[in-house]
Amino acid sequence: MDWLGCSEVETVPGKQGGVPLIKGTRIPAQQIVDEHELGSSIEEIAEEYPSLTREQIQKLLDYARTRQPVL
């Protein structure tokens, strides 16, 4: 997924191999999306990653949802 337009994501060369991360963390953006798709609620994700706010998680998921291919 192209995370370039997401305000919650950054790519830092040399940090986690240049994988798109949630800003200010070492948490891969796709990891949060994958966990949500596997059934984790926003509340569960926020508990697992206390450095993230529910608002950040929601923005990330909203962005990912707008980038899903339409079948």
Residue 69 has pLDDT above 80, yes or no: no
The answer, yes or no, to whether residue 48 has pLDDT greater than 70, is yes
Helix, strand, coil share (%) of the chain residues, nearest 5: 45, 5, 50
Q: What angle do CA 12, 18, 19 make, to 5 degrees?
A: 110
The tens digit of pLDDT for each residue in 3-27 reads: 989 999 999 888 888 899 999 999 9
- Scan for tokens 């798709």, then name that residue: 37
Domains of the chain by start residue, with CATH: 9-66 (1.10.10.10)
Q: Quick one: pLDDT at residue 67?
A: 84
